[in-house]
Amino acid sequence: MAIHGDVVIGIDIGTTSTKAVVFDGRGKVLASHAVDYPIIQPHPGFAEQDPDELFAAVVQAVGAVTIRHGIRPAQVKAMGLSAAMHSIMALDESGRPLTRLLIWADNRSVAQTERLLKEQNGLAIYRRTGTPIHPMSPLSKLLWLKEEQPDVFQRARRFVSVKDYVLYRLYGDYVADHSMASATGLFRLDTLDWDEEALALVGIRREQLPQLVPATHIMTGMRREWAEKMGVASDVPVVIGASDGVLANVGVGAVLPGEAAITIGTSGAVRTIAAAPTTDEKGRTFCYALTPGYWVVGGPTNNGGILLRWLRDEFGAQEREVAKKLGIDPYDLLTKYAERVPPGAEGLVFLPFLSGERAPHWNANARGTFFGLGLHHKREHFIRAVMEGVCFSILSVALAIRDVTGPMTEIRVSGGFAKSPFWRQMLSDMLGKPLIVPQTHEASALGAAAVALYALGELPSLETVKTWIDTTARHEPKEEHTLIYAELFDLYARLYERLKEEFNIIAAFQRRNGEKRSKTKSV
């Protein structure tokens, strides 16, 4: 069906796919198209992607949505960009990749991170930059590259994120918005500039990094080849936008201090708005820029919906077959099984650290653990325990944020998990607070579109977005369930503290044996 009238396109470059979402001037979704791509994991702890594959996905996603819906170039008022944080790659003097894109889930720089924390006053770096010291951080990844691949590091002319690379391919310019830059560990919150101490520590020069611009920076003059493939005019205003996390807050309408957004997609995050840069004395939370007067304080978890995918792929062959015969989504069937089990999974507690953990622990060595397992536990208990484990991790982040910014006055939820009423209710029970479910599930793309309109002067403020968003559901916590979860969360927190040294031991064992297998395969 052809779309008529002016539109704005939000482009969300995510971990597993890029989405191009078409909105009207009041944030209504008119059309969307997604292009998937894989995460490359050549060794344990590595997580990489092909940057040219991601760039092609951007071009393909926008082209597909404009062509399929008959959107003419003159209709596209603007495009706004959102991208996943913490990616980094090296380019040569011709702008060609010397490495793949090292993404947020890459944990190879554990040793460098530990050294930063113990020997380089990592907490002080965090307080200046707002980025916790963790292998996800480009700061740690660059140290790893410098030490483990010095020839590549020396040849590198530029170091860029995925969004920086996409913009370079589209325009030939190296630019980075304050929001993406504030997630690198190389950017000062107080000056909105690269941090000279961090650059000296890594051994790079500021000219090796992109030029810094605000999220409202407008780019025009796209290379004609790419404009034609995307079905847009080469002079269409492209607003550089921000990171996917801070834009998700805009996209769900959580844009005032005290209002929180919880997103659970592949990973998860809790974020709230602050009027000024705010960091945590214990280093548990991040602080990233959005636009002047809007700072996002929060914490990400590594382990969200990816854990249900793991269950489905590795242990759910039976469920996949049953779901196929019934014509339903396998995830819906897994959820139905979990609903058979009472809150607390009859004493089966899951620490959901299959990919290490970020907030509030920032421990890449943390590992997944089932505790309390008995003969009475069945498949459905494991499914429920995994879903509850994800919610426990969200609760631990929410409590850390509360310590930094104060109580959360309103909580809005988005991401793939928000499609499940059962999982939403579980989280409300866990937090002991009401949850609001906005109509949109494309929060980051909507946030990118809103910032684009704001940059063009067509929105008086980002708070206007709240008037766009209808509420589709509201969940009130069930007190009896909240009491159960409070008891089990206390156990969950104690288990983590008591297992920290054991996590280090098993993680070292896994890395050692993973390296042996890799060497054996290469012989």
- The strand pair at 175-177 and 48-49 is best described as unpaired
Q: Quick one: pLDDT at residue 172?
A: 97
Query: Looking at per-residue confidence, does 332 or 385 come out higher?
Result: 385
What is the band of 518 on the pLDDT scale with cuts at 50, 70, 90? Answer: low
- Judged against a pLDDT cut of 60, whether residue 483 lies above it is answered with yes
Mean pLDDT computed over 346-368: 94
Per-residue confidence (pLDDT) for residue 44, from 0 to 100 = 81
Tell the residue number behind the tokens 């907490």, with chain if given. Answer: 123
Each residue's pLDDT tens digit, 79-92? 999 999 999 999 99
Q: Which residue has the tokens 């690198």?
A: 184
Residues in the chain: 523
Q: Are strands 259-264 and 410-414 parallel, antiparallel or unpaired?
A: parallel
State the residue for tokens 């602050």: 274
- Mean pLDDT estimate for the chain: 94
Determine the angle formed by the axes of helices 421-431 and 479-522, rounding to 10 degrees: 110
What pLDDT digit, counting tens, does each position of 212-261 carry? 999 999 999 999 999 999 999 999 999 999 999 899 999 999 999 889 99
One-letter amino acid of 161: S
| Residue-by-residue DSSP string for 282-296 | TS-SEEEEEETTEEE
φ/ψ of 262, rounded to 5, equals -115, 125
Give the pLDDT of residue 441: 67
pLDDT in tens, 51-77: 999 999 999 999 999 999 999 999 999
Residues 279, 133 contacting (CB under 8 angstroms): no
pLDDT in tens, 150-168: 999 999 999 999 999 999 9
In the prediction, which pLDDT does 414 show? 85
**What pLDDT digit, counting tens, does each position of 504-515 carry?**
999 999 888 876
Share of the chain above pLDDT 70, in %: 98
Asked if the model's pLDDT at residue 415 lies above 90, the reply is no
Split at pLDDT 50, 70, 90, the class of 519 is low
Question: What pLDDT score does 216 carry?
Answer: 97
Residue listed under structure tokens 């807050």: 249
pLDDT tens column, 174-221: 999 999 999 999 999 999 999 999 999 999 999 999 999 999 999 999
How far is residue 187's CA from residue 193's CA, in Å, rounded to a whole number?
6
Fill in the DSSP letter of residue 90: E
Residue with tokens 């890799």: 518
Bond from prior residue into 257 cis (ω within 30 degrees of 0): no
Three-state DSSP string of 313-334: HHHCHHHHHHHHHHCCCHHHHH
User: Which stretches within 304-437 are classed as H helix?
Assistant: 306-315, 317-326, 330-339, 379-405, 421-431
DSSP 8-state secondary structure symbol assigned to residue 136 = T
- Dist CA 296 CA 126 (whole Å): 15
pLDDT at 381: 97
Cα 77 from Cα 218, distance rounded (Å): 12
259 membership: H or E segment, kind and range: strand 259-264
The answer on pLDDT for 516 being more than 70 is: no
pLDDT digits (tens, 9 = 90+) for 276-287: 999 999 999 999
> Quick check: helix, strand or coil at residue 109?
coil
Task: Identify whether the C-beta of residue 412 lies closer than 8 Å to the C-beta of residue 273.
Answer: no
Least-confidence region, from 128-132, 284-288, 362-366, 399-403: 362-366
DSSP secondary structure string, 144-165? HHHHH-HHHHHH-SEEE-HHHH
DSSP notation for 262-277 = EEESSSEEEEEEESS-
pLDDT tens-digit profile of 4-36?
Answer: 999 999 999 998 899 999 999 999 999 999 999
Instruction: Tell me how far CA of residue 461 lies from CA of 46, 251, 450, in angstroms.
Output: 40, 13, 9
Which helix (H) or strand (E) covers residue 496, if one does?
Answer: helix 479-522
- Per-residue pLDDT for 329 more than 90? no
Taking only the tens place, the pLDDT of each residue in 351-360 is 999 989 999 9
How many Cβ atoms from other residues are within 10 Å of residue 99's Cβ? 18
Nearest one of 284, 362, 351, 354 to 110, comparing CA atoms = 362
Candidates 285, 280, 277, 283; CA nearest to 301 is 285
Residue with tokens 């109580």: 407
Q: In the prediction, which pLDDT does 318 show?
A: 83
Cα gap 261→299, rounded to integer Å: 11
Q: Where is 125: in which H helix or E strand?
A: helix 122-129
> Sign of dihedral through CA atoms 18, 23, 25, 27?
negative
